[in-house]
Amino acid sequence: METIRCLILGSGPAGYTAAIYAGRAGLAPVLYEGLQPGGQLTTTTEIENFPGYPDGIDANEMMEDLAHQAKRFGAEFRSSIAIKVNLEQMPYTVTFDDGSEVSCHTLIIATGATAKYLGLADEEKYRGLGVSACATCDGFFYRKKTVAVVGGGDTACEEATYLSGLASKVYLIVRKPYLRASKAMQDRVLSNPKIEVLFETNTVGLFGSEGVEGAHLVHKKGTAEETVSDIAIDGFFLAIGHKPNSEIFKPWVHTDEIGYIITEGATSKTNVPGVFAAGDVADPHYRQAITAAGSGCKAAMDAERYLSENGL
């Protein structure tokens, strides 16, 4: 079986940056790109908040730049998806969907997180054309426009509050008759004149010719008081949570109750020696390209030190 010194799973900013640093350190990293080469970022159109691109840059172009940089330093890229790992003893083994299997001395988990969607066909239809799961990433494009945020927890309230600083109006669409957010966050939302909360409301569709122009809503769905209505919006933001792509690692790696991998202090170290986590799979708070890239750097440096200290 092939044994790899530094194996990286995931190809977003965290995985690619880890590959750049590991490559420059002479670790001959092998990176498996997984289901979505380039990561979640490739579902965004333009990136304006990544340092070094004063005029913004197409998301796919930026990820291609990172990939080319990693390859320049000797990183090898493969396209299979990891479906099983065994972290019981060194070297660790990883099995992929094409039936191949490799072993590794260090493993960097950069598999990201997947945004939860409502499951509407229109969400896919308008993805990148008005539908987003990241207000911090895309809110800037909706300055002085009308947007809607779906969700009733802290994340949704934070996104709505953030967007209210940019947009002219924000609808917060809440399925339940109350907000699940903390009291302080609820007060902030309910007292914001730019935010209109639509309680007991479900989104059943989106409409627009070349992008999102509005949403079809149902109020008090399934009751005698059920009513339907449309609202005019320019952007539709999902804030109903993310699912970290950590399932196959859970038998060995510690995670929180949602599934985010827990790392030690300010490092990328997991509870398993030689296994490190970077990017959104270990970040329930920020979920930004720049923070993911920074954590990828840390993971590669931690891996290099581990290999050196253990004579590998």
Residue 250 tokens, joined: 């859970």
Cα 166 from Cα 215, distance rounded (Å): 20
Q: Is 137 a catalytic residue?
A: yes
- DSSP letters, 87-152, are -SSSSEEEEETTS-EEEEEEEEE---EEE-----HHHHHTBTTTEES-HHHHGGGGTTSEEEEE--
Q: Under the phi-then-psi rule, with left for phi > 0, alpha for psi from -120 to 50, and beta for the rest, what region is 10?
A: left
Query: How many helices (DSSP H) and strands (DSSP E) are in the chain?
Result: 7, 19
Cα 25 from Cα 309, distance rounded (Å): 14
Backbone angles phi, psi at 206, to 5 degrees: -125, 155
Q: Which of 134, 234, 283, 302 is catalytic?
A: 134
Beta-carbon contacts of 51 under 8 Å, excluding residues fewer than 6 positions away, are 290
Q: Is 134 a catalytic residue?
A: yes
Q: Which of 138, 280, 283, 302 is catalytic?
A: 138
Cα 104 from Cα 248, distance rounded (Å): 16
Q: Are 169 and 142 in contact (CB under 8 A)?
A: no
Q: Which of 6, 137, 157, 302 is catalytic?
A: 137
Q: Is 138 a catalytic residue?
A: yes
Cα 33 from Cα 285, distance rounded (Å): 24
Residue 18 tokens, joined: 């880890």
- Residues that are catalytic: 134, 137-138
